[in-house]
Homo-oligomer: A and B are copies of this chain.
Amino acid sequence: VHAALELVDRAGPTALTMRALARHLGVDPMAVYRHVRDKDDLLGAMCDAAVAELTPLDAAQPWEPQLRRLALELHAMLVRRPALLAVLSGAPATPVSLAAAHQAIGLLVAAGVSEDAAATTFAVVFSYVLGAAQVAAADPPPAADHPALLDGARALLGDADPPHLAAAAGLMQEPEDVERGLEFLLAGVRATLAGR
């Protein structure tokens, strides 16, 4: 598992193949199957190891800064290891992530929210983090295609000089956008929870 994490860290998500992992370990490709059932099993174990490295939640602290920190740490981790994105997107599919979800819900319940609202809140924040990480991890479109892209959009809009095209093309390139988005989300959560 450790070697697999090293591999994705160094060479990206596409580099994680059972054969490459075995090569990395100096071992026959099939030897890996003695230790994991299949590739999904390996990815699950990698997820557990990676999530366990995040700062754990502390039930004694207020929910909002804790949830914010967890979200940002999770986001940073997923950007670093996009290979884990797909696995973590399943319903809490791993013991460690399930335990983390439990603690986050407990944190909100302790703040006086119903269990149902707490679960929804956590699900929303979690979904957002996944989406933002996916966007942040995607490689930008090849610069060579840029002019063709802009011309295509211009043609569709029927406007030779659309006023916000530059803004649209520059969307989601800035790393700080994640935090701003998270604040929108937390403001909405605060407002909705207060209004009950």
Contacts and interface: CB of A to CB of B under 8 A. Distances in A.
Interface stretch (A4-12, A26-34, A62-70, A99-107): A99-107
Contacts of A115: 164, 167
A99 B188 contact: no
Q: Which of A130, A170, A180, A189 has the most CB atoms of chain B within a 10 A radius of its CB?
A: A130
A168 to B, nearest CB: 4
Interface in A115-134: 115-116, 118-124, 126-134
A159 to B, nearest CB: 9
A127 B124 contact: no
Nearest to A195: B187
22 contacts: A89-B134, A89-B135, A89-B137, A91-B138, A91-B171, A92-B168, A93-B141, A93-B149, A96-B152, A98-B152, A98-B169, A102-B167, A106-B163, A109-B164, A115-B167, A123-B171, A123-B172, A124-B184, A127-B181, A128-B181, A185-B185, A191-B191
Given A85-B134, A98-B169, A115-B164, 16 more contacts: A90-B138, A91-B135, A91-B172, A92-B171, A95-B153, A98-B149, A102-B162, A103-B157, A105-B167, A120-B181, A121-B184, A128-B185, A130-B135, A131-B133, A185-B185, A188-B188
